[in-house]
Amino acid sequence: MAQQHLDPTDPLAGRVTGDALADYLRAQATEFLRALRLHRETGGTAANGSGPQGPGSPGDPVDPARALRRAVRRISGSLHTFRPLLDADWSESMRPELAWLSGTLAMEHAYAARLERLLLALHRLSGAVFPAQPKGATVGAAQAGGSGPPSHPAAPDRGNLTVGAAKAGALLERQLTLARTRAHSTALQALGSSRFHAVADNIAVLASEVPLVPTGAATDLHPHATAAQERLTDAVTALPLVTAGHPYNAEALIHGLSPDPAPHPQDTPWHQVRLLLRLHRYAREVIQGTNAPVDVRLLTAGQALDRHRDASEAAAAAAQAARTPRIAPATAYALGVLHADQRHEVEAARFAFQQSWQKQTVGTP
Amino acid sequence: MAQQHLDPTDPLAGRVTGDALADYLRAQATEFLRALRLHRETGGTAANGSGPQGPGSPGDPVDPARALRRAVRRISGSLHTFRPLLDADWSESMRPELAWLSGTLAMEHAYAARLERLLLALHRLSGAVFPAQPKGATVGAAQAGGSGPPSHPAAPDRGNLTVGAAKAGALLERQLTLARTRAHSTALQALGSSRFHAVADNIAVLASEVPLVPTGAATDLHPHATAAQERLTDAVTALPLVTAGHPYNAEALIHGLSPDPAPHPQDTPWHQVRLLLRLHRYAREVIQGTNAPVDVRLLTAGQALDRHRDASEAAAAAAQAARTPRIAPATAYALGVLHADQRHEVEAARFAFQQSWQKQTVGTP
């Protein structure tokens, strides 16, 4: 067991070997199976990934969909980072399946969260006053009930909105609720498919028996974790952090009216860093154990990148909605303001990442 | 003469009296007459306030309209700050006339600069690449030629813009060029009016004889200048500077979709500080002499507030254009993005002001 707490900056810290990886994978597989059982018991009502606490409540014990996604991401990430320690055939066959599952399970939650973000922004832009209660507790855009497709989200009151903002809100609600309903069905279908059962069977095996290569159990994990960290720091180095550190650099909106309908290519390296940061974090978990204290700065940087991704996708959804045929000019105007607002959120998130990264001394895992 | 350079932080610096005010007013009146003569010689072609260097080139010797505005603002400001030293009847009769003149002369330049700002922003938002040349040298939105109303501004090439951005640009160009042409006519009419001739005659008298009250020449100017400074610092203290100092606070756009069509009321105290800062600067000029080195930090703070005002008005113009009947949704969308972009410029300008003010130790004039 490597669940003891190691000082990551201590070069004399004990070797952590493939045994720890096996422990970690077993624990994550067990988590997956537990979440799957709970998910089936609750009839998949929470497949949107959010309980009453709203989306993103960390460690929510009543959210099996979220727990499923968490476990799948961790297994998938560990297979990637510690690939040479694991049976190659098994590993290569598992990875695309885990990616498919992770992607499929994430969509419904993503649409619900995106709608909530956009409706909250519309209210903020309309100068509407919100009760000072925790986010998600008042706005139930992601509160699904019953066992069918998600119920109509309880959208914020539109009384204070202008016609344009109200119409923009209604349009986004229609489009994103439709997308979310489809994602819900897709996720339910996926969870009932033979493809899923094959993955679940594989994970069930993993819960008791991790297919390490013969030398795997004794192999030092550090070089692999360090390589994951280096991939992260290399990618961060390539980011335009000097610009990002200058507030109001107006970079994020620079293609806001570009003819290119594709998502902003400038966002891609940031999304990439977000994924590499996650892999680094999981590698730390493998080595330090899941009970080790979280590196707050790593967490802050990760949250900034999550916000970056969310705002980027929300901005794209607003731009996409503005391409709906026959909308009123006032609706289009509100969507333009909303798009720009979310692109500024993108810029703000980059600034927040730069600030947190500056302070950061990433511990050697 | 008080044209010697006084250290404003030196409490033992010599008294500066009404004589210095008289010198200053005479100098400004002379400037006004010189600019007026030049303006008449050039046939009023530069009434838009911008020569080949574009709007806002400081100290541009070939820009009589700008020189006229400069002198009028300074005379008007000094009458305000040092009111008790001047003949009350004369002063009270002059002040509304100077305000009228200053306002009338400023409009054409303001519309030209607003259009240029908005077209540049549209290009930036479209990801269009600009040649790395000084602003105004490439974009001739404010280059008027001939002696009639301003010629059609040489707008930036729209080749790279989307349909929406191009249409938004064309709409703004049409509306703001019309407004500018009207302002040009109004300014020309004003300069030919008997009302103007009365003001000009008064200023001509001022160039030789300043109507100080009997005790005026010996009265210390410092208490009046200090009062002007205190009005400034009081108004700055009332600004939400803590918020402004947090980058990306998203305050400026908070009423971006508000049903209220009036300009953002949150901007008003900042506009007020801009005017008070200008009065403070002129009071310093009176006391230290116009040849004294400019306080760079005061200048920076003033530039931030100018930018705040310009962006605020540009954002309002974009919002106003979006209310044009029968525009295409793509046009309205582009105007929404543009409005939000300029509101973020407003926020950026507040941040810049906060940063410059923080460093600032306003010298006692």
- Say if residue A243 is in the same domain as residue A316: yes
Could B259 and A336 be called an inter-chain contact, meaning their C-beta atoms sit closer than 8 Å?
Answer: no
Residues ≥6 apart with Cβ < 8 Å to B160? A259, B123, B126, B127, B128, B129
What pLDDT, on a 0 to 100 scale, did the predictor assign at position B289?
Answer: 85
Q: What residues of chain A lie within 8 A of the CB of B351, using their CB?
A: 247-248
B82-128 pLDDT, tens digit each: 999 999 999 999 999 999 999 999 999 999 999 999 999 999 998 76
Residues A350 and A147 sit within 8 Å (Cβ to Cβ): no
Structure tokens at B232: 């400034």
Determine, for residues B248 and A253 on separate chains, whether the beta-carbon distance falls below 8 Å: no
A85 token code pair: 């320690």
- Work out whether the CA dihedral B247, B251, B257, B261 comes out positive or negative: negative
Q: Which two tokens stand for residue B137?
A: 């040298």
Is B139 in contact with B156 (CB distance < 8 Å)? yes
Task: Say how many domains are in chain B.
Answer: 2
User: Does the distance separating the beta carbons of A258 and B162 come in below 8 Å?
Assistant: yes
Instruction: Give me the residue from A257, A327, A328 closest to B337, CB to CB.
Output: A257
Among B160, B253, B351, beta carbon nearest to A341: B253
Range of the domain at B314: 221-359
A221-257 pLDDT, tens digit each: 999 999 999 999 999 999 999 999 999 999 999 877 8
Give the distance, in angstroms, between the CA of residue A273 and the centroid of all CA atoms in the same chain: 13
Distances (CA, A) of B9 to B13, B14, B230, B288, B363: 8, 12, 16, 12, 6
Q: Which of B137, B103, B141 is nearest to B121 (CA)?
A: B141
* CA dist., res. A212 & res. A220, Å (int): 13
Higher pLDDT, B363 or B163: B163
Q: B186 with B248, same domain?
A: no
**Pair B32, B226: CB distance under 8 Å:** no
Tell if the CB–CB gap between B257 and A165 is shorter than 8 Å: yes
Residues B22 and B133 reside in one and the same domain: yes
Q: Give a yes or no: residue B9 inside a domain.
A: no
Mean pLDDT on B65-80: 96
Q: Is residue B352 part of a domain?
A: yes
Closest residue of chain B to A127, computed from CA coordinates: B255
Residues B276, B318, single domain; the answer is yes
- For residues B74 and B125, membership in a common domain is answered with yes
Rounded distance, CA A169 to CA A335, Å? 9
Examine the domain organization and report whether A288 and A355 are in the same domain.
yes
- Cβ of B336 within 8 Å of Cβ of A341? The answer is no
- Rounded to a whole number of angstroms, the distance from the CA of A136 to the nearest CA of chain B is 20
Higher-pLDDT residue of B58, B242: B242
Count Cβ atoms below 10 Å from residue A248 Cβ, excluding itself: 19
Q: Among A171-185, B42-56, B136-150, which is the least confidently predicted range?
A: B136-150
Nearest-CA distance B354 → chain A (Å): 13
Is residue B224 within 8 A of residue B82, CB to CB? The reply is: yes
Q: What is the pLDDT of residue A63?
A: 84
Same domain, A187 and A228: no
**Which residue in this structure is represented by tokens 């008449």?**
B40
Q: Which residues contact A82 (CB under 8 A, 6 or more apart)?
A: A18, A21, A221, A224, A283, A286
Of B122, B254, B344, the CB nearest to A127: B254
What is the distance between the alpha carbons of residues B61 and B64, in angstroms, rounded to a whole number?
Answer: 8
Cα–chain center distance at A189:
22
Phi, psi of A255, deg, nearest 5: -110, 25
Nearest to B226 by CA among B182, B286, B269, B137: B286
Q: Which two tokens stand for residue A322?
A: 């503005």
Query: Which residue type is seen at A348?
Result: A
Which among B154, B182, B208 is the end of a domain?
B208
Model pLDDT, residue B2? 43
- Most A-contacting residue of B158, B249, B253, B337 (CB-CB within 10 A), to test interface: B337
Q: Which residue among A248, A258, A329 places its CB closest to the CB of B247?
A: A248
Q: Is the dihedral of CA A115, A120, A121, A126 positive or negative?
A: positive
Pair (A180, A275) in one structural domain: no
Q: Is the pLDDT of residue A140 over 60?
A: no
Task: For residue B321, give the chain A residue with the closest CA.
Answer: A333
Q: Which residue of A has its CA nearest to B167?
A: A257
pLDDT in tens, B282-316: 999 999 987 888 888 899 999 999 999 999 999 99
Residue of higher predicted confidence among B136 and A327? A327
Residue B59 CB partners (closer than 8 Å, separation 6+)? none
Question: Residue A8: is its pLDDT beyond 70?
Answer: no
CB contact under 8 A, A257 and B340: no
pLDDT at site A135 = 40
Min Cα–Cα distance to chain B from A83, Å:
41
A131: in domain: yes
Give the gap in angstroms from C-alpha B37 to the nearest C-alpha of chain A: 43
Same domain, B201 and B294: no
Tokens of B220: 């210390």
Q: How many Å apart are CA A336 and CA A339, to the nearest integer? A: 5
Interface residues on B facing A, Cβ-Cβ cutoff 8 A: 122, 124-127, 160-162, 164-165, 247-248, 250, 253-260, 322, 327-341, 344-345, 347-348, 351
Amino acid (1-letter code) at residue A29: A
- What are the residues of chain A with a beta carbon less than 8 Å away from any beta carbon of chain B? 122, 124-127, 160-162, 164-165, 247-248, 250, 253-260, 322, 327-341, 344-345, 347-348, 351
How distant, in Å, are the alpha carbons of A263, B49, B110, B185 from that of B178? Answer: 37, 17, 13, 11
Q: Is residue B10 part of a domain?
A: no
Asked whether the beta carbons of residue B259 and residue A162 sit closer than 8 angstroms, the reply is yes
A269 found inside a domain: yes
Q: Is B51 helix (H, G, I), strand (E, B) or coil?
A: strand
Q: Quick check: is A216 in a domain?
A: no
Average pLDDT over residues B54-63: 51
Does B216 fall in a domain? no
Query: Nearest Cβ partner of A336 from B250, B258, B337?
Result: B337
Q: Which has the higher per-residue pLDDT, A51 or B98?
A: B98
CB–CB of B344 and A348 under 8 A? Answer: no
Q: How confident is the model at residue B261 (pLDDT cuts 50, 70, 90)?
A: low
Confidence label for A102 from pLDDT (cuts 50, 70 and 90): very high
Q: State how far the Cα of B47 lies from the Cα of B187, in Å rounded to an integer.
A: 7
Separation CA B225–CA B82 (nearest Å): 8
Nearest to A257 among B164, B257, B345 (CB): B164
Closest CA to A68 of A25, A109, A29, A32: A32
Averaged pLDDT for residues A46-60: 44
- What is the radius of gyration, based on Cα positions, of chain B? 22
CB B94 within 8 A of CB B202: yes
The pLDDT confidence band at residue A31, using thresholds 50, 70 and 90, is very high
The DSSP bridge pattern shows strands A54-55 and A50-51 to be: antiparallel
Task: Count other Cβ atoms within 10 Å, centred on residue A309.
Answer: 18
> pLDDT tens digit string along B331-344?
999 999 999 999 99
Q: Are B68 and B188 in contact (CB under 8 A)?
A: no
Q: Which residue of B has its CA nearest to A248?
A: B348
Mean pLDDT on A99-110: 96
Residue A38: name the closest of A155, A191, A265, A186 by CA.
A191
B140 plus B87 within the same structural domain: yes
The verdict on a CB contact (< 8 Å) between A348 and B161 is no
3-state secondary structure chain A: CCCCCCCCCCCCCCCCEHHHHHHHHHHHHHHHHHHHHHHHHCCCCCCCCEECCEECCCCCCCCHHHHHHHHHHHHHHHHHHCHHHECHHHHHHHHHHHHHHHHHHHHHHHHHHHHHHHHHHHHHHCCCCCCCCCCCCCCECCCCCCCCCCCCCECCCCCCCCHHHHHHHHHHHHHHHHHHHHHHHHHHHHHHCHHHHHHHHHHHHHCCCCCECCCHHHCECHHHHHHHHHHHHHHHHCCCHHHHCCCCCCCCCCCCCCCCCCCCHHHHHHHHHHHHHHHHHHHHHHHHCCCCCCCHHHHHHHHHHHHHHHHHHHHHHHHHHHCCCCCCHHHHHHHHHHHHHHHHHHHHHHHHHHHHHHHCCCCCC
Question: Is residue A11 in some structural domain?
Answer: no
The alpha carbon of residue A329 is apart from the nearest alpha carbon of chain B, in Å, by: 4
A243 burial via Cβ count (<10 Å: 0-12, 13-18, 19+) = middle
How big is the CA angle at B286 (ends B284 and B292), to the nearest 5 degrees? 65
Residues A234 and A178 in one domain: no
Same domain, A119 and A227: no
Identify which of B254, B332, B338 has the shortest CB distance to residue A330: B332
Closest chain A residue to the Cα of B121, Cα to Cα? A254
Q: Which residue in A125, A160, A333 is closest to B333 by CB distance?
A: A333
